[in-house]
């Protein structure tokens, strides 16, 4: 005699299979959308070997395929003279000759096989420096150049056509110490000259060179606090010794300070990373194209931070160090933004 088979368990099983299939389909679609959204420009982030000494309020520059990171605050919160070199080819770090003096909030740029580190603060009391230190990687030794006319920290420094331009910064915790100063150093004659000041006095800004012009972006317009960040975008033409004011250039989409900028060598565009305000740090990554005078929002940094450094080599930008929390904090992050 044949036994009757209940259809109820079979129906329940079929319904469960359909539900699971539907959920997997939705999850897959959601993941695809997220991936497309995060890589809409084709650019992406990867991690590289972390910096041996976690630090913030650093500066960095490159010579050939090596990135040098200078000074800053160490994990104990003290200014440091440490200089660590990152080999892009080998993805390894090494320590080289330390700075002649511990510095934080200094600025660096390279020219003709040497690195020039200028300004910054000399101690935990934030005493501004006007000293210029010159590093030769071939001898692993430092020498001192002529002092900058104006002592200051939290400034920017870039070489354009063999001249170092040191712009902005501040001298003290007070609002009176904020500077629009623009001073130029000629390494051939070891002399400084004063240039037309920046239209907006500020510190903790970022700067980048594009098409032979110097762009200064963001920063703060009060004392040490990040309570008044700005998004001003101003351009200096060294050939004309004149500035294009921020009202003529599209401002950065976000108001940030404690930021870093870098430009890809075969592009006129540049990217601005990170920053802080009293309640948070930023993972923002925003790109400016001087030709179109337009900003675009790029794939955010994996790690939000301020007081960081950004250095471009080929089609990659290495974003190193900084503080993941507002105020004092440190990290050894070394994240690479691959520009596509």
Query: Which residue do the tokens 């420096």 mark?
Result: 129
pLDDT at 28 over 60: no
- Residues with Cβ within 8 Å of residue 45, at least 6 apart in sequence: 299, 301, 302, 335, 336, 337, 338
User: Given a cut of 60, is residue 158 above it in pLDDT?
Assistant: yes
Question: Is residue 16's pLDDT more than 70?
Answer: no
- What pLDDT is attached to residue 267? 72
3-class secondary-structure state, position 318: strand
Question: pTM above 0.75?
Answer: yes
pLDDT digits (tens, 9 = 90+) for 35-57: 222 345 699 999 999 999 999 99
Does residue 5 have a pLDDT over 90?
A: no
Record the tokens describing residue 118, joined without a space. 């200028």
Return d(Cα 239, Cα 290) in angstroms, integer. 17
300 neighbors 253 (Cβ within 8 angstroms) = no
Q: What is the mean pLDDT of residues 152-164?
A: 98
Q: Largest alpha-carbon pair distance within the chain? A: 111
Residue 269 has pLDDT above 90, yes or no: yes
Q: For residue 102, give its domain range.
A: 43-338
| pLDDT at residue 224, as a whole number | 75
Has residue 6 been placed in a domain?
Answer: no
CATH number for the domain including 267? 2.120.10.80
- Give CA–CA dist 258/274, Å, rounded: 7
| Whole-number pLDDT of residue 174 | 65
Number of folded domains that form the chain: 1
pLDDT digits over 114-130, tens only?
999 999 999 888 999 99
Average the pLDDT over 81-96 and give the result. 98
Residue 74: pLDDT over 70: yes
The mean per-residue pLDDT over the stretch 63-81 comes to 97
- pLDDT in the model for residue 175: 65
In a domain, 146, yes or no: yes
**Residue 256 domain-assigned?**
yes
Instruction: Identify whether the C-beta of residue 98 lies closer than 8 Å to the C-beta of residue 91.
Output: no
pLDDT at 20 over 80: no
117 lies in some domain: yes
Q: What is the mean pLDDT of the chain?
A: 89
Write out the two tokens for 100. Answer: 């002649």
| C-alpha separations of 25 from 16, 270, 284, 297 in Å | 14, 39, 32, 30
For 308-329, what is the mean pLDDT? 97
In a domain, 196, yes or no: yes
Residue pLDDT, tens place only, 170-179: 997 666 789 9
What pLDDT is stored for residue 266 in this prediction? Answer: 61
pLDDT tens digits, one per residue of 275-293: 999 999 999 999 999 999 9
């Amino acid at each position: 005699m044949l036994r009757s088979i209940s259809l109820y368990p079979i129906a329940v099983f079929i319904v469960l299979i359909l539900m699971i299939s539907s959920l997997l389909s939705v999850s897959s679609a959601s993941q695809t959308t997220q991936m497309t959204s995060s890589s809409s420009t084709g650019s992406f982030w990867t991690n590289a070997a972390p910096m041996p000494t976690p630090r913030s309020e650093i500066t960095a520059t490159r010579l050939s395929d090596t990135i040098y990171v200078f000074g800053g605050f160490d994990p104990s919160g003290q200014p440091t003279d440490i200089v660590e070199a990152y080999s892009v080819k080998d993805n390894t770090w090494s320590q080289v000759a330390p700075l002649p003096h511990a510095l934080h909030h200094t600025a660096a740029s390279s020219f003709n096989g040497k690195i020039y580190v200028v300004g910054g603060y000399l101690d935990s009391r934030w005493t501004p420096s006007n000293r210029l230190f010159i590093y030769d990687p071939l001898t692993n030794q430092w020498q001192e150049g002529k002092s900058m006319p104006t002592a200051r920290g939290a400034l920017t420094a870039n070489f354009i056509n063999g001249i170092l331009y040191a712009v902005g910064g501040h001298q003290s915790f007070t609002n009176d110490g904020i500077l629009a100063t623009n001073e130029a150093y000629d390494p051939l004659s070891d002399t400084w000259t004063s240039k037309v000041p920046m239209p907006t006095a500020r510190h903790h800004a970022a700067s980048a060179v594009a098409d032979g012009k110097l762009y200064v972006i963001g920063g703060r317009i009060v004392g040490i606090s990040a309570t008044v960040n700005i998004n001003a975008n101003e351009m200096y033409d060294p050939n004309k010794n004149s500035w294009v004011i921020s009202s003529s250039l599209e401002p950065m989409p976000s108001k940030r300070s404690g930021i870093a900028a870098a430009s890809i060598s075969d592009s006129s565009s540049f990217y601005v990373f990170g920053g802080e305000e009293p309640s948070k740090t930023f993972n923002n990554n925003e790109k400016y194209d001087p030709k179109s005078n337009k900003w675009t929002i790029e794939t955010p940094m994996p790690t939000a931070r301020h007081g960081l450094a950004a250095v471009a080599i080929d089609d990659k930008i290495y974003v190193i160090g900084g503080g993941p929390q507002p105020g004092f904090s440190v990290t050894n992050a070394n994240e690479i933004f691959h520009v596509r």
